[in-house]
Amino acid sequence: MNQSIHAVVFDAYGTLFNVHSVIKRCEQFFPGQGESLSRLWRSKQLEYTWLRSLMGRYEDFESITRSALGYACRSLDLGLLHGQAQSLMDEYRRLEPYADVPAVLDALRGRRLAILSNGSPGMLDDMVHNAGLGSFFDAVLSVDALQIYKPHPTIYQLAIDRLATKAERIAFVSSNYWDAAGATSFGLRTFWINRAGTQPDELGYAPYRSLSRLDQLTAALAG
């Protein structure tokens, strides 16, 4: 086991939790459009976090998620009723963890574990609780404390401050390349979970390791 890594910090959305588990509910309301709605919703959700940060006009992740849902439905010409909107928003509080997540977290016991996410505190707390994963984490950290979104460098400092651990002793794990690049630029040792086999963005900061599955993380940390 690599003794230089004292803590492992995970992104939440797309890394531990499958944002596209909402497709089932989307499909229930809009047959044949579930996948398209989920993907456009997620894309616009991320775009809004970056735009809000650049504008200096913060809104919490729950508000951004609701706005992105409205945009996606209008773009796809889907008539979204108020009750449907609330039901879809509720899905973000019970996103499904990827199948390998519990075993990976259990294998990492002995190190300090945390989540560092764009999510609003209430959304994150409900999601972690509903998935039965709360006992694994020493901290669930939200950008809401600083009111700016990843990959702003001040966000990664949150993990250092809360875990009282030096940057070089923290492994940061994300499936979002832009997030891994931001954490690398900041000085964390990063692991990119590239489940979809996508090309890395050209941002000038490559992750320490690229893995195709989360369950490869324990071996990578031991190396």
Question: How many whole angstroms separate alpha carbon 106 and alpha carbon 128?
Answer: 15
User: How many residues in total does the chain contain?
Assistant: 223
Tokens of 204: 């000038």
Query: For residue 166, what is the DSSP state?
Result: -
Task: State the number of CA atoms in the 13 A half-sphere of 182 facing the CB.
Answer: 19
Q: Give the residue among 163, 166, 159, 173 at the shortest CA–CA distance from 220.
A: 173
Question: How many whole angstroms separate alpha carbon 122 and alpha carbon 103?
Answer: 25
Choose the catalytic residue: 11, 60, 144, 179: 11
- Collect contacts of 97-102 with beta carbons under 8 A, ≥24 apart: 97/16, 97/17, 97/18, 97/131, 97/133, 98/16, 98/17, 98/18, 98/214, 100/213, 100/214, 100/215, 101/16, 101/131, 101/133, 101/214, 102/132, 102/133
- Collect contacts of 165-169 with beta carbons under 8 A, ≥24 apart: 165/6, 165/7, 165/112, 168/4, 169/4, 169/5, 169/6, 169/7
Task: Respond yes or no: is residue 11 known to be catalytic.
Answer: yes
The residues annotated with a catalytic role in the active site are: 11
